[in-house]
Amino acid sequence: MPVGTRGTVKGLLPEQLSTLGAQVILANTYHLSLRPGSSLIQEHGGLHGFMNWEHPILTDSGGFQVFSLADTFKVDDEGVSFASILDGSRFRWTPEDNTRIQNELGADIIMQLDQCTPYPCEKNLVAQAVSRSASWAQRCRLAQKNNNQALFAIVQGGVFLDLRLESVDRLLETDKQTGRFEGFGIGGYSVGEPHELMLETLGEVAHALPADRPRYLMGVGNPTTLLRAIALGVDMFDCVLPTRTARMGTAFSSQGKLNLRNACFARDTSPLDPQCNCPACTSYSKAYIRHLVLSKEILASVLLSIHNLSFLFTLMKQAQDAIAMGTYARFLKQWEEKMPCY
């Protein structure tokens, strides 16, 4: 799922995203609540009407953004207080406030407000965040009255498997007693820990969650990690990586990552990836795109974003096909043998 933090995937028209194969895009509650405000977006028919996107939208609760502002936030069992990155003004969110804001934004999938811990973090502090997030999940479930929106709970627990499984148990108890969650996010990973450390616990966490609902690994976009996570039972992903690295002049490809700043591409008339049929690959050479990158032209970011997203959409389709044919283990092995640099 491409990330459109402020209601836009940087540099791309909604029509382009749809053509590339985007089925769901993300927007961020924290940023949109600060500017232009959820009530203004609601006046425009919600995010769909505001940004002219006719397909599903998922809004992250903004909890990750709040808790990354280590110098400005204060958290207690009732909610979190924080300062705006725009002007320093103070805000207070309870789980109920956060759910209401996401109702006003009008996304199809909304996420509970949770407490995300950094890496590394002491186990007692992670345990406290697990308990608080579970309590907030219940409060978000009770506050969510819009039947047109799917509410996802979020598993926390850092790199501690026992805390992860405790988090799952607490969420499933709420699911049983208070109301069914339509899906489950797996949060608190990819916050600085090595991906190998994440993968040590991810499989058990994913398989502890209900198999009849989506399991969403939040904030992961590295191609090899995506494929390994799929093998462990994950269904959905989002990340800024494909578009952020595009703005840095980097392209994904079937030959590995390409840094278009490198001089070896100065006279390279071949496409970014001979196996890709995206507009960047069918119409432009590495040499031309390198020229755009070095000249700091906006078109460089646009073309590389188009390509990187197209690359990941194609990779996910290949994964789906391999699963359907019962050959996923072989598909993953072949990828890992061919793509050690990912």
- Residues with active-site annotation: 60, 238
Quote the CA–CA distance of 155 and 116 in Å, as a whole number: 10
- The residues near 167 (Cβ < 8 Å, ≥ 6 apart) are 130, 133, 134, 155, 156, 157
Q: Which of 86, 97, 102, 100 is nearest to 47 (CA)?
A: 102
DSSP string covering 10-41, please? TT--HHHHHHHT---EEEEHHHHHHTT-HHHH
Which ranges constitute the DSSP H helices of the chain?
A: 14-20, 29-34, 38-43, 46-51, 63-68, 95-105, 123-143, 161-177, 195-208, 223-231, 241-247, 279-283, 286-294, 298-325, 328-338
Please give the C-alpha separations between residue 49 and each of 57, 106, 148, 279, in angstroms, as whole numbers.
11, 10, 16, 27
Quote the CA–CA distance of 180 and 157 in Å, as a whole number: 21
Q: Are 178 and 141 in contact (CB under 8 A)?
A: yes
DSSP string covering 112-132, please? -------SS--HHHHHHHHHH
Q: What six digits make up the tokens of 186?
A: 């797996």
Q: Which of 17, 97, 31, 22 is nearest to 60 (CA)?
A: 31
Side-chain-side CA neighbours of 266 within 13 Å: the count stands at 3
Quote the CA–CA distance of 99 and 93 in Å, as a whole number: 10
Burial of 257 (0-12, 13-18, 19+ CB in 10 A): middle
- The phi, psi pair for 47, rounded to 5°, reads -60, -35
Give me the count of residues in the chain: 342
